[in-house]
Amino acid sequence: MRFWPLLWSSLWRKKVRTTFTLLSILVAFLLYGYLAAVNKGFSLGINTGADRLFLRHKVSLSILLPESYLGRIGATPGVVDVVHATWFAGIYQEPKNIFPQLPVDPERYLRLYPEFLLPEDQKQAWFADRTGAVAGRTLVEKFGWRIGDRIPLVSPWRKQDGTSTWEFTLRGIYDGAAEATDTRQFLFHYDYFEEARMFGKGMVGWYIIRIHDPKRAAEMAQRLDSNFANSFHETKTMTEKALVQGFARQIGDIGTIIGAILTAVFFTILLVAGNTMMQSVRERTAELAVLKTIGFSNHLVLTLVLTESLLLAGLGGVVGLGLAYWAIERGDPTGGVLPVFFFPPNDIVLGGVIMVALGLATGILPALQAMRLRVVDAIRRA
């Protein structure tokens, strides 16, 4: 800390230049943090649910499967549990308010998704109410719902009375066990849906299957699909991870796009910050020589220049990541299209590593130059 005033003063030797360099670094890290959250949103579930398989119609997710498959799937060796779900596609109040609404078997579904945390009393209240529903915390906060609220949804699934409006009573609010858990789902009783719908009876959207050994997921998928080979409703089974990756790829390889953007940004910043440090050290040749005359060793001079460079990268980086965190906390920019939107802790740590790497990369050359500086030559040049 005794060198702090020297370091701080040296950093701000040229205030305008340092400010612009800091702003460049800040923007780079702001972009990094924000895109990390977007990337996480697109890749939700890619690293979760390793023991869950997703079984759908071979041709398309939009083609329904018989409900009767439930028993055959459950009886397949290696399957621990299974539940089906169907896309309800309802609209709440306005067409823009679209979120996942699924008619499910409540008990089975919660067994398959233990990461959905629901208080026991709310769970029992939902089980007991045929028109009851539960919703994730994000969804509830977005619409300001409270337990007991009546929630009408207008769905393409017509009811037997010819109307399209389905009413539900909110019986519970679930939280996610992890930050990456999707807390925007709206779940209600399949029995109510099946009984009331006008068409499609006995058909469901897809099956979620828990298997005994996640390492044998590929083999299990093949075995499950072979159960229904050459039938009217052939199936395609994949891991949840593959499913989510498939969705993301429909938009584009988000991870690669984000990676390319960030590589370009950080390469530019490397040049900008590196140039700042080189100039700064070149301008201080005589001053560095004075420090050495006073008794500062070559290694101490090297350390001081490197620390200054790390300080520059660290300052810009910390403020940039802080701003990214603040912006992310303000909410999903897509208005709910992304299932989750948060700053992944791993990416915060990686941001810190990038900061250090940037500081070292931009500082090492000028630091070596400063270390090798010969006092008598430097003073003569000055």
Partner 1 sequence: MGKDQILVRVRDLHKVFHRGSERIDVLQGLNLEVPRGDFLAFMGPSGSGKTTLLNLIAGLDRPTQGAIDVDGQRIDQMSEADLARWRARHTGFVFQLYNLLPVLTAERNVELPLLLTPLSRAERKRHVQTALSVVGLADRAQHYPRQLSGGQEQRVAIARAIVADPTLLLCDEPTGDLDRKSEDEILDLLQALHREYGKTVLMVTHDPHAAARAQRILYLNKGTLSAEPIE
Nearer to partner 1, 178 or 294 (CB): 294
Helix (H) or strand (E) holding 313: helix 298-329
**Binding status of residue 311 toward partner 1 by CB under 8 A:** no
Q: Is 2 in the site for partner 1 (CB under 8 A)?
A: yes
Any contact of residue 285 with partner 1 (CB under 8 A)?
no
For 255, counting Cβ atoms within 10 Å of its Cβ (0-12 exposed, 13-18 middle, 19+ buried), the class is middle
Residue 3 sits in the site that holds partner 1 (CB under 8 A): yes
The tokens for 133 are: 């529903």
Amino acid occupying residue 170: L
- Give the amino acid at 99: F
Interface with partner 1 includes 368 (CB under 8 A)? no
Residue 376 as a binder of partner 1 (CB under 8 A): the answer is yes
Interacting span for partner 1 (CB under 8 A) from 38-46, 69-77, 152-160, 286-294:
286-294
Q: Binding-site residue total for partner 1 (CB under 8 A)?
A: 26
Residue 77 binding partner 1, by CB under 8 A: no
Q: What CA–CA distance (Å, rounded) separates 180 from 119?
A: 20
* DSSP β-bridge partners for residue 189: 104
DSSP string, 56-107: EESS-TTS-EETTHHHHHHTSTTEEEEEEE-----B-SSTT----EEEE-HH
Select the residue interacting with partner 1 from 72, 218, 296, 347 (CB under 8 A).
296
Among 93, 160, 263, 298, contact with partner 1 (rule: CB under 8 A)? 298
Q: 2 vs 330, which CB is nearer to partner 1?
A: 2
Radius of gyration of the chain (CA): 29
Chain residues 7-36 in contact with partner 1, contact rule CB under 8 A:
9-10, 12-13
Q: Are 18 and 276 in contact (CB under 8 A)?
A: yes
The answer to whether residue 297 forms part of the interface with partner 1 (CB under 8 A) is yes
- By beta-carbon proximity to partner 1, the closer residue of 93 and 297 is 297
Interface ranges with partner 1 (CB under 8 A): 2-3, 5-6, 9-10, 12-13, 286-287, 289-300, 375-376, 379, 382
